[in-house]
A and B are shown apart, each in its own frame.
Chain A
Amino acid sequence: MKRLSVLAVILLAACSPKPQKTGVEVSNAWIKAAPVAMKTSAGFMVLQNHNARPEKILSAEFSASNVVELHEMLYENDMMKMRKMDAMVIPAKGSLVLEPGGLHVMFIDLKQDLKEGETYDITLNLESGQKLVVPAPVKPYSHGGMH
């Protein structure tokens, strides 16, 4: 009897509609490998906002550098331009991609080598008050066309 009720609960759970995802989900987070001599590095990831209203990243924290900023790269007429951003917006029910050559979390004044195989947390401070802790592995740049 007990077994049957357990089975019923399992079946019921399996049949009930999936709860709607909420909040901000992060995938494919990684950090560019860099020796301390390079002084800077960057973090990349894909953010998915499941909420019906836009979310903003106001700032970020990273233990292995003295400064963390939100930056954007723009590539125009063979020129690479970088700008510091006050915030990054993740659209409602949409996504935001942080990738080389585009948006990134910029780590300035590294305290230590960031070596391939290590993992560091990047903490994102969202406008909603949420602190999103993102574990990110350290990887080398994949060379253009080699991935």
Chain B
Amino acid sequence: MKRLAAILLLGVLFTSCSPDSSVFNRYEIGGDFTLTGMEGKPVSLSDYKGKLVLLFFGYTLCPDACPFALSKMSGAFHMLGAKNSEKIQVLFVSVDTERDNPARLKEYFSAFNFPVIGLTGTKEKVDEVAAKYQATYSKVESDSAMGYLIDHSTIIYLIDTEGNVRYKFRHNDGVEIMVNIIKTLMRIQF
């Protein structure tokens, strides 16, 4: 009985915490872009029109922020379930244009069990996309065995079915927040 009450309470809390559509802003950033996918072929954001897209900028040697963001996305997919997950595509733009190539991205993402495509391109192309989304990164020379390190922004962009940025998840936003906001956008869009 106690348990049932706890579950009910949790249910009420969860419902009352669910964001409504007012959480979504119209961002004056973003837009379509084309980079090179893991098969070496062009991939555009507009290829995913009709799906929600989670866009992230990072690099495969990134030790912490990127695996953390990816593990959050993996957790979100798990909580959203298979049916909802089919409506989402993750795009990961590598800001390490020297070390990450399609083959390396394919190797790296083979370890993940959700739909994620690693994207690369020339520095100019990647810079152009980063600028569109106001994502920043900078190469930092280091005496680390990794050679150089890259400081980069950690925003995960939630993009709607029409290619508009609708939410920016920050590093500290937990999986539940991501799931709630994705579900809210799904209710509006599907």
- CB within 8 A of B67: which of A32, A75, A81, A84? A32
Complex Cα–Cα for A83 and B141 (A):
10
Which of chain A's residues have a CB closer than 8 A to the CB of B175?
Answer: 143-146
Complex Cα–Cα for A39 and B142 (A):
18
- CB within 8 A of B145: which of A38, A81, A82, A108? A108
Q: Which of B108, B145, B149, B173 has the most CB of A within 10 A?
A: B145
Complex Cα–Cα for A67 and B67 (A):
19
Complex Cα–Cα for A80 and B152 (A):
5
Q: Which of A34, A40, A108 has the most CB of B within 10 A?
A: A40
Q: Does A94 contact B (CB under 8 A)?
A: no
Chain A residue total in the interface (Cβ 8 A): 34
Residues 14 to 59 of chain A near chain B (Cβ within 8 Å): 32, 34-35, 37-42
Q: Which of A39, A40, A82, A104 has the most CB of B within 10 A?
A: A82
Which of chain B's residues have a CB closer than 8 A to the CB of A42?
Answer: 63-64
Q: Does B146 contact A (CB under 8 A)?
A: yes
Q: Are A143's CB and B72's CB within 8 A?
A: yes
With known contacts A34-B67, A39-B60, A104-B64, A81–B151 Cβ distance under 8 A: yes
Known pairs A42-B63, A69-B144 / 18 extra A-B pairs, C-beta < 8 Å: A34-B111, A37-B108, A71-B144, A75-B65, A79-B153, A80-B64, A80-B65, A80-B154, A82-B149, A82-B151, A100-B68, A104-B63, A106-B144, A140-B71, A143-B72, A143-B75, A144-B174, A145-B177
